[in-house]
Amino acid sequence: MKTKLLLWVLCLPAIVLVSCQSEQKNEEPKTKDMGSAFRTDTVQLRNYEQELQFTGQVSFDQKQVDRVYPMVSGNVLDVNAELGAFVKKGQVLAKLQSADVSQFVKDYNTAKSNYDIAKRNADNVEQLYKTKFSSENDLVNARKQLEIASSELERSSQVLKMYGGTSANSQPIFTVSAPVSGYIVERNINPNMQIRPDNGNSLFTISNLSDVWVLINIYESDIQAVKVGQEVNISTLAYPDRVFQGRIDNISQVIDNDSKVLQARVVLQNPGGLLKPDMFCTVKLHIEKPEKLLAVNPKSVIFSEDRYFVILDKGKGNYKSVPVEVIKSTSKYSYIKANLRDGDQVVTEGALLLFNELTD
């Protein structure tokens, strides 16, 4: 019995040692699970892109703008269209009481009376001619007078119709109607306003905002780099998370004397009418250069102690801090020189947290 107890005491340290070694073997290495905490992006070898940034302004598509001018003078009785409202073609926008229309109504009524007289006279002469109480010459003259009266009635009727009147309404009212469907983007008329005969300002401006223009301000130092057909990215304060893409389709040949800028034009489709005239915007233009450089996501670049770094994902939870030299940064890429290869994976989301852990 004492012998067995002695063997047990001697074997106990060996059992404890083996158990500890087993636990050490089963202990997992301390690594980070990239899939659960971090996101990566691919290092690319690509042509260097220069980024130019300009200011711009949204404007009407001048090819889809209709300005409504007053055709008569008079006093404004009523205005039925508000600024920014959508109107349909033919919709009444305003009504004016006009002495001009009153004269057109008078001309129409006179022409109508002359026509009735000429018609009655022609009918009488024709009846007399059939009974041999009138000559053929009288019949020809009567018909000629009827033709003249008919032409004058048609002319005065067309004039009255053009100025908004009708033969059934003798009131001197001029009706301003929408020539096209669209949005009221300018309104220069109010009730009780007097419209003078020499007024040269439009009463309404109607635009179809399905397309808009973005006018880009280009300074002289950048004129050489901007070409027709280049793609641009446009952002606005109203929609900071949205980028509108378009192409430059026209560049002016005249520099503004006050601002000293040259204007380029981008035509954008505007579904939903998100872009409004006079909105300010930022326009970015990327120009590709022949030189090839390594490019990474700007989110992957870390600045620490006057140096730049990226976190290289070596796979299987292994990461390495790599110093880089940033040549140029744009909104899309940071162009760098570093000990990296095309196709390497670098951390973007969580890069700073991982960098702090690696440098502790």
- What is the CATH number for 136? 1.10.287
pLDDT band at 29 (very low <50, low <70, confident <90, very high): very low
* 193 domain residue, yes or no: yes
pLDDT band at 170 (very low <50, low <70, confident <90, very high): low
Residue 239 shares a structural domain with residue 331: no
Residue 150 shares a structural domain with residue 243: no
* 57 domain residue, yes or no: yes
Is the model more confident about 330 or about 227? 227
Q: What is the mean pLDDT of residues 104-109?
A: 84
Residue 122 shares a structural domain with residue 136: yes
pLDDT of residue 49 exceeding 60, the answer is yes
pLDDT of residue 218 exceeding 50, the answer is yes
Compute how many other C-beta atoms are within 10 angstroms of the C-beta atom of residue 16: 10
pLDDT band at 73 (very low <50, low <70, confident <90, very high): confident
What is the CATH number for 316? Answer: 2.40.420.20
| Locus of tokens 């901007």 | 226
Q: What is the mean pLDDT of residues 88-93?
A: 91
Last residue of a domain, one of 289, 307, 333: 289
**Which tokens is 143 given?**
């018909």
Residue 226 shares a structural domain with residue 295: no
* 148 domain residue, yes or no: yes
Residue 138 shares a structural domain with residue 187: no
**What pLDDT score does 160 carry?**
79
Encode pLDDT of 122-162 as tens digits.
888 888 888 878 888 888 888 899 899 999 989 888 887 77
Residue 285 shares a structural domain with residue 303: no
| Contact between residue 150 and residue 115 where contact means Cβ atoms under 8 Å apart | yes
Q: What is the mean pLDDT of residues 343-351?
A: 90
Residue 251 shares a structural domain with residue 310: no
**What pLDDT score does 47 carry?**
83
Percent of the chain with pLDDT over 90: 36
* 4 domain residue, yes or no: no
* 3 domain residue, yes or no: no
Domain with 124 in it = 101-167
* 239 domain residue, yes or no: yes
Residue 285 shares a structural domain with residue 214: yes
As beta bridge partners, residue 195 has: 74
Residue 202 shares a structural domain with residue 70: yes
* 13 domain residue, yes or no: no
Residue 124 shares a structural domain with residue 240: no
Report the mean per-residue pLDDT for the chain.
83
What is the CATH number for 236? Answer: 2.40.30.170
**What pLDDT score does 168 carry?**
56
Residue 185 shares a structural domain with residue 241: no
Q: What is the CA angle 310-47-309, rounded to 5?
A: 10
Is the model more confident about 93 or about 174? 93
Residue 75 shares a structural domain with residue 186: yes
* 267 domain residue, yes or no: yes
Q: How many domains does the chain have?
A: 4
